[in-house]
Chain A
Amino acid sequence: MLPGSAAPAAGSGMFVPTQTVGTVLCCICGVSMQPNPANMCARCLRARVDITEGVPRHAAVVYCPDCASYLQPPRSWLRAGPESPELMQILLRRLNRPLARLRISLSGAEFVFSEPHSKRLRLKLRLRREVLHGVVIEQTHPVEFTVHDRLCDACARAQSNPDQWVAVVQLRQHVPHRRTFLYLEQLFLKHGQASLALRVASAPGGLDFFFSSRSHAARLVDFLTTVAPIRTQTAKQLVSHNTKSSVYNYKHTFSVEICPICREDLIALSPQVSRDLGGLGPLVLCIKVTNAIALLDPLTLRVHHLEEKKYRAYNFKAALTSKQLVEYIVLDIEHESPEITVDGSRYQLAYAQVARASDFGKNDTMFTVRTHLGHLLNPGDLALGYDLYGANLNDDDMDTAMMRHSLPEVILVKKSYEKRPRTRRWKLKRLPVEEDGANKAKGEEEKRADEYEEFLRDLERNSEMRFQIDLYKDEDYRSEMASTIGDDVPSVPIEELIDDLSLGDDDEDEGEDANAHAGMVA
């Protein structure tokens, strides 16, 4: 070896003589071994040196039996299954401090089986520590955790008062029908927004959603701002407060009011509003309501989207609503301009000669009107529209409009189909809403059923609306109407339907499986 030089690098061209390590005797037991920093054989080391001295052998964890979660001091509760990695993490975190203090590092840990009802969790740790002159020893060490049961704060509160709510969202719309709420209900189901609600109650004019935390309620309100034109007001009421820690408990109320303009409403705009919106004709039809209102001028086929804030500035009401639609028979159609697509929907300007269904055959009253439904109507069709000729309205704007412009006598809104009680091959899910028993009027149930039927018919007609919600395949559908599916009554194509999840009995499953299999092979 050259004096004072380090060992030359292998492959540098120098000859490096091989260095075989010699053996020494273990200084305690005398057995021949390879030299190590302690110069003691492994058995003597393990016998003399116990690295697990001072490592805790028992510890405690707190467990909430209701929600199967473990306490991570000081305040957070973490859900963990039995013998899961999350549970191991929680247990090891409780041992971190004492291990770090003793400068022991953890090289492995595993669960040792213990009965689930024994309230004991056992871990076997592999600890590593440096002793004596830089020797690193590894040793196993069992630790037993005692599980103490305690209800976490959320479960304790829920158990003591299950109906206790902290925030409520009061959803209201001041219109006589409940179509909006039926549609919103389907939207909530699709997006799972009502899953956090403690309960849902119906109130006159709307729905109430009760939540256990303010942030859940705020989440629902945020969702509503994206799907409907709403105005929100918040209020809070002090329930209790802790003087020592300055913690105040409130009940929060979100009053959400949906704009009263609905689809198929006829609105007469005042001259000022008409001018503000760019000369939109005094009569407009509302065709779509999302977080803005879409207003269509049926005579010029112009669509204007009005935001909630702007609407509040003008605050006009509907002159005629869909309850006041009258049936007409189309006698003749004359297309005036080609079919165009405005805002995703197709319209075509046409002159139509119509007569009221009540007049048809009795007298000769006919109206020639311009309509935007030229692409749908053919002579002999039935259509629904607003009868301005015979209507008696209590609307200042409508009076002004009548005086200044010549208004059409009829505004056709939609095509009507034969009303037949038909079975549908699809169905909808409903939200569990608590009915307000005290406020029920006599004819209320029938009215509700009618509204629901109308809503379903609307869904069939309107593919855009269907896109927003989930339709489920009705297992009980029997196609006895097969022979009559020749006419052009709109129905929902089967591709849009979702298979409902049924955790049912075996024959149902077998039947479904067979169908599915056949479908795949074909």
Chain B
Amino acid sequence: MATRIQFENNCEIGVFSKLTNAYCLVAIGGSENFYSAFESELSDVIPVVKTSIGGTRIIGRLCVGNKNGLLLPHTTTDQELQHLRNCLPDQVVVQRIDERLSALGNCIACNDHVALTHPDLDKATEELIADVLGVEVFRQTIAGNILVGSYCAFTNRGGLVHPHTSIEDLDELSTLLQVPLVAGTVNRGSEVIAAGMTVNDWTAFCGSDTTATELSVIESVFKLREGQPAAIVDDMRKSLIDSYV
């Protein structure tokens, strides 16, 4: 189910929040509406944690994580690190890494199995990613942009990439990630996908500028409709059809 929300009148949701299958991080500040939107959807399933990273609110672009772990930049303060370690479940490994490219959210995009990284990332960082997040790491570019973390968003079920991605690239990425991919936009034609939305296996949150068309594309590629109507029909069919005479 995809929801349209705003953070302090700004439609770039993916900048101020980070959503994974095991937890959700939300930025501090602004009105409680933002926080309550996440709470209402997720609070009974996964923890929703309010935090800041390095004193800033742009947490979605600074950190990267999946159900196995969370990677933080070197600008994170010790208190924030401790706070996160406390709030998140124990199986999530919280690690602060020393990397020149400190906006990890812009440089790395991952789901629970595969990660795409900035081509100039350190070798050590790459190994850490493979270790902490438990993923296979590929250095890639998307539509000629090296900031893969910004221009694509993918989960275990599907992915959305920059609209100018060519068909050959789409095929290649799709093979790498083993999920269906589609090129599209978010927030009324914005190409910065990951900044405009945040998504996990069963929910997505988009900026309020997102048009109905974009929302339907997102729901279909990330399979958020859960195929409920189809399931209902199947069940009903079993009860409806008694026997063939």
Chain A window 212-247, contacts with chain B (Cβ cutoff 8 Å), 1 for yes, 0 for no: 000000000000000000000000000000000000
- What does DSSP make chain A's interface, helix, strand, loop or mixed? loop
Contact A27 to B185, CB < 8 A, known contacts A3-B139, A18-B168: yes
Asked if B213 and A19 sit within 8 Å, CB to CB, the answer is no
Asked if B141 and A38 sit within 8 Å, CB to CB, the answer is no
- Min CB distance, A298 to chain B, in Å? 99
Which B residues are CB-close (under 8 A) to A132?
189
Which residues of chain B from 123 to 144 have a CB within 8 Å of any chain A CB?
139-141, 144
Chain A window 12-46, contacts with chain B (Cβ cutoff 8 Å), 1 for yes, 0 for no: 00000111111111111110000100111000000
- Min CB distance, B167 to chain A, in Å? 5
Indicate if B166 sits at the interface (CB-CB under 8 A). yes
Contact A27 to B189, CB < 8 A, known contacts A3-B119, A18-B168: yes
Contact A26 to B213, CB < 8 A, known contacts A35-B183, A40-B189: yes
Asked if B211 and A22 sit within 8 Å, CB to CB, the answer is no
Asked if B184 and A24 sit within 8 Å, CB to CB, the answer is yes
Output the nearest chain B residue to A3 by Cβ-Cβ distance.
Answer: B119
- Min CB distance, A211 to chain B, in Å? 69
> B120, B189, B191 — which one has the most chain A CB atoms within 10 A of its CB?
B189
- Min CB distance, B148 to chain A, in Å? 11
Indicate if B165 sits at the interface (CB-CB under 8 A). yes
Distance A21 CA – B146 CA, assembled complex (angstroms): 19
Indicate if B93 sits at the interface (CB-CB under 8 A). no
Which A residues are CB-close (under 8 A) to B191?
39, 133
Indicate if B217 sits at the interface (CB-CB under 8 A). yes
Indicate if A100 sits at the interface (CB-CB under 8 A). no
Which A residues are CB-close (under 8 A) to B213?
25-30
Residue of B140, B141, B163, B169 touching A24 (CB-CB under 8 A): B163
Asked if A38 and B166 sit within 8 Å, CB to CB, the answer is no
Output the nearest chain A residue to B211 by Cβ-Cβ distance.
Answer: A27
Contact A39 to B185, CB < 8 A, known contacts A25-B217, A27-B211, A28-B213: yes
Indicate if B164 sits at the interface (CB-CB under 8 A). yes
Indicate if B188 sits at the interface (CB-CB under 8 A). yes
Indicate if B80 sits at the interface (CB-CB under 8 A). no
Contact A39 to B166, CB < 8 A, known contacts A4-B119, A24-B185, A27-B211: no
Residue of B164, B190, B211, B214 touching A21 (CB-CB under 8 A): B164
Which B residues are CB-close (under 8 A) to A3?
119-120, 139-141
Which B residues are CB-close (under 8 A) to A38?
189
- Min CB distance, B150 to chain A, in Å? 15
Distance A40 CA – B189 CA, assembled complex (angstroms): 7
Indicate if A1 sits at the interface (CB-CB under 8 A). yes
Asked if B163 and A39 sit within 8 Å, CB to CB, the answer is yes
Which residues of chain B from 143 to 198 have a CB within 8 Å of any chain A CB?
144, 146, 163-170, 183-185, 188-191
Nearest 10 pairs between A and B by C-beta?
A: A3-B119, A39-B189, A30-B213, A35-B163, A4-B119, A19-B166, A24-B163, A39-B185, A3-B139, A22-B167
Q: Known A-B contacts: A1-B169, A4-B146. Give 5 more (CB < 8 A).
A: A3-B119, A3-B141, A21-B167, A22-B183, A27-B189
* 16 A-B pairs with C-beta separation under 8 A: A1-B140, A3-B139, A20-B166, A20-B168, A21-B167, A23-B183, A24-B163, A24-B185, A25-B213, A26-B213, A27-B211, A27-B213, A27-B214, A28-B213, A35-B163, A35-B183
Residues of A near any B CB (own CB < 8 A): 1, 3-4, 7, 17-30, 35, 38-40, 132-133
